[in-house]
A = this chain, B = another copy of it.
Amino acid sequence: MPSRLIAHLAHVEVLSSKPADSVAFYTEVLGLERSGEEGTSTYLRGWGEWDHHSLVVTEAEAPGLGHIGWRMLSPEHLDQAVARVQERGVDGEWVDGSVGHGPAFRFRGPGGHQHELLWETERYVPPPELVSPYPNRPQAYRPRGIAPRQLDHVTVMTGDPLADAYWYRDTLGYVFTEYTVLDEAEIPVFSMLTNNEKSHDLGLVIDQSAMPGRLHHVSYWVDSRDELLRAADILMNCDAGVEFGPGRHGMGEQDYLYTREPGGVRVEVNTGGYRLYRPDWETLRWTPSQGSNVFYRNLPMPDTMMEGAPHVDFSAPEDGTANPWQAASVH
């Protein structure tokens, strides 16, 4: 296993067929700040983030994942990471600087998701009216909507969450923290990996469609469980509603709620969780009955939580194949 290469999840690009509505949700309901626009993309960030953006909303025919950007620990770590990806036989390409950052190496992970590894970033510079009164905040706190502090993690869908987790661990130095199999069969349905103290910055949910590269959700962080409940109240008072939660996952001990933005992409608001400092963490295995998904062990997960973006309808397969993850309480 390589040692750590990645500093943190830098940004996620989501696709929307209703970009104006999606951006309105992200800015007015979720409460992100708008930091740029180019072409059909809008750039957004949480008030506690130092870089130019953490979310890109790009117009497309269907909701989905554009790409995931990872900032490396240093230029040297970027080079090492690129070499390691190539050693694994994965093609990739360097793209010149984009909005908010410098050169990036683009490649597809094992589940078909587009990733971007980068070092150089553009520091966010607030306009005068948003200069923080405190030196350790990148901008003034503006309590518009839910107002999360920062991007927390991204969760994608893949045919084999366990094999993919090993790939990310062995290729790019992610710590593989936890996974869950079904109670009734050794089928892994959800894995979590991290580059930090948090339980995960990358989640992998099982996908039984044939479509690679689907997105499960993007998650933004609020500072407290009380703010999470306030977020839920905000969502219940607009069209969005709350798909699942507020509740707590056993895995990661994360307090969560899930909603959908108008384009169909699932957005989580999360908080809480343990903090991982052990350098020799050993991957933990769960089953749903232990509370992997629902810490309180007293709830089913709504079926809609099994949908991804783009949406694939395979609920009634002609050959009657059982869908193992429908029964699972995936995280």
Q: Which residues of A are at the interface with B, using a C-beta cutoff of 8 A? A: 3, 7-8, 48, 50-51, 71-74, 132-137, 140-143, 145-146, 149-150, 178, 196-199, 223-227, 229-230, 232-234, 236-237, 241-246, 248, 250-253, 255, 272, 274-275, 277-279, 284-286, 290-291, 295-300, 302
**A278-B72 contact, Cβ under 8 Å, with A134-B250, A136-B252, A234-B141:** no
Q: List 25 A-B contacts (CB under 8 A).
A: A3-B73, A3-B74, A8-B277, A71-B279, A72-B279, A133-B236, A133-B290, A134-B291, A135-B178, A135-B284, A136-B178, A136-B251, A136-B252, A141-B233, A142-B237, A143-B143, A143-B145, A143-B230, A224-B224, A224-B226, A225-B226, A226-B226, A229-B255, A236-B291, A245-B298
The listed residue with most B CB atoms (<10 A of its CB), out of A241, A275, A300, is A275
Q: Which residue of B lies closest to A234 (CB)?
A: B143
Q: Which residue of B lies closest to A243 (CB)?
A: B298
Hey, which chain B residues are within 8 Å of A297, CB to CB? 236, 241-242
Given contacts A142-B237, A245-B296, A298-B241, contact A230 B227 (CB under 8 A): yes
A48, B274: Cβ atoms closer than 8 Å: yes
When distances are taken between beta carbons in the complex, the residues of chain B under 8 Å from A300 are 300
Q: Pick the contact of A277 from B141, B196, B252 — CB < 8 Å?
A: B196
| A279 contact set on B, CB distance < 8 A | 7-8, 71-74
Known A-B contacts: A140-B237, A298-B302. Give 19 more (CB < 8 A): A7-B278, A8-B277, A8-B278, A48-B274, A50-B278, A51-B278, A133-B291, A134-B295, A135-B286, A136-B251, A141-B237, A142-B237, A149-B274, A197-B275, A198-B275, A225-B226, A226-B226, A236-B297, A245-B298
Report the Cα distance A225→B229, complex, angstroms: 9
Collect the chain B residues with CB atoms within 8 Å of residue A246's CB: 296
Q: Is the interface of A mostly helix, strand, loop or mixed?
A: loop
Give A278 to B251 CA distance when docked, in angstroms: 26
Give min CB distance, A24 to chain B, whole Å: 15
- Chain B residues closer than 8 Å to A241, beta-carbon distance: 296-298
Task: Give the docked Cα–Cα distance between A250 and B137 (Å).
Answer: 10
Identify which of A7, A51, A224, A248 gathers the most chain B CB atoms within 10 Å of its CB: A224
Give 7 nearest A-B pairs by CB, closest first: A226-B226, A8-B277, A7-B279, A197-B197, A135-B284, A141-B237, A242-B296
In the complex, A328 Cα to B8 Cα: how many Å? 36
- Chain B neighbourhood of A284, CB < 8 A: 135-136
Central interface residue in A135, A197, A241, A277, by most chain B CB within 10 Å: A277
